[in-house]
Structure 1
């Protein structure tokens, strides 16, 4: 039986009279790479923010469990201590800190300095551009370099669950290719991932399972490979 890492049941999010999420059920099991795809404004980012408790003032209903424990009301910074990390849409790097300092912030819950140093070296090997710019302020990096940094920073806490929100947004094709290569490699290392992504083809090619979200509701779910060949998904999201 699969070990449940994340389970969302009946999630509803409303901003005043606007219902952004309408009763979503979703689960992610240990070691899976699950993707949530859909058009802009479908409610994907709102769903991730509901998981991490980073929504602005709004009405949230339903249950969200992480490792069998309810997340509702948990302070977002406490989630990192529970090894739940998120790479937000727009990267969210600390622009006035150096690359090295950003990586150290990702490891702020850890006390094993030798392990932290080893992990920084590891991610510098994966992302050589970051090593070259170690002392550079993060705000001066290109969008693709900031995305590399945001991913490496999140991975510094050794997450049990990694949430990725639109990692390919606004990046050049060659950078998108690199980011997805890293996502696949991280998944192979056994880290459980929930990926929100507009590039449905790349997301489904990388994932084990997928969910389609439309107008705040889950309209389809299944094995990612099957969804890649589903005529409805192809017509709506793959341009075929």
Structure 2
């Protein structure tokens, strides 16, 4: 497996975060970060538990409870801080949350239809369901099964396919490999790379720094609420600081 070093030719900005601060009461979880994602890029945000990575994604999607958010969040040239998550989905911004968040009492097929609820092209929706069933044959075999009865890996497959049913311009992935077997982790990252190669812009939060940086065009390191390092994925893989802190090398 090699680093994804083919930089997209188009540099149209999809997401720009500047001066983002998030506070829960007196706790400053994010302390003023700048981050950008350009069209067609796969960007990864790595860091230890509690660094503020998930909080950053939730700030983008407006799904943070009882907290103070400061700074600027621009998506496709539009300020979206304070915009409801329902409206963001209509604007083609989708997120696969940590913990998957599947509709447990709905079938796999029904979950996929929910991912396409902003669309009205029935033929296209049916074609996309067939597409993701081809990518994830396990889901096709269990299409009528309740999502809550699936394994963790199967639920992750479903959560990713459901998000992609909305044809997102920006896909946010929060810890897609968490709690999965090594074989399933490889499958999930195979799909991440495939989706990126199809041109979908991705911001990936991931604790498996090695796989994330191997897949990414660029990466950011987050530590204690701050961005402490950024660069091309391939360069960061070889950076001694990254190797020692996040790759178990050095």
TM-score, with structure 1 as normaliser: 1.00
Equivalent residue number for residue 81 of structure 1: 90
Candidates 145, 149, 167, aligned match of 2:176: 167
Equivalent in the alignment of 1:29:
38
- Unpaired stretches in structure 2, ≥5 consecutive residues: 1-9
1:1-240 to 2 correspondence within 5 Å?
2-240=11-249
Alpha-carbon displacement from aligned partner over 1:176-224 (angstroms, at most 9, x marks no partner): 0000000000000000000000000000000000000000000000001
Q: Deviations over 1:16-57 (max 9, x none)?
A: 110000001000000000000000000000000000000011
Q: Distance in 2 between matches of 1:130 and 1:213?
A: 34
Shift, 1:2, TM fit: 1.0
| 3-state SS, counterpart of residue 186 of structure 1 | helix
Provide the rounded CA distance (Å) in 2 between the counterparts of 1:15 and 1:160: 30
Aligned-pair distance for 1:73? 1.3
Measure how far apart 1:68 and its partner are: 0.5
1:65-124 Cα deviation digits (max 9, x unpaired): 000000011010111110000000000000000000000000000000000000000000
For residues 86 and 243 of structure 2, the distance between their equivalents in structure 1, rounded to whole angstroms, comes to 38
Partner secondary structure for residue 143 of structure 2: coil
Q: In the TM superposition, what is the alpha-carbon distance from 1:229 to its structure 2 partner? A: 0.1
DSSP 3-state at the match of 2:55: helix
Q: CA deviation at 1:136?
A: 0.1
CA distance in 1, matches of 2:183, 2:167: 27
Give the TM-score taking structure 2 as reference length.
Answer: 0.96
C-alpha displacement of 1:235:
0.2
- How many residue pairs are counted as aligned between the two chains? 240
Q: Secondary structure of the equivalent of 2:17?
A: strand
Alignment partner of 2:37: what SS? Answer: strand
The Cα RMSD (Å) is: 0.5
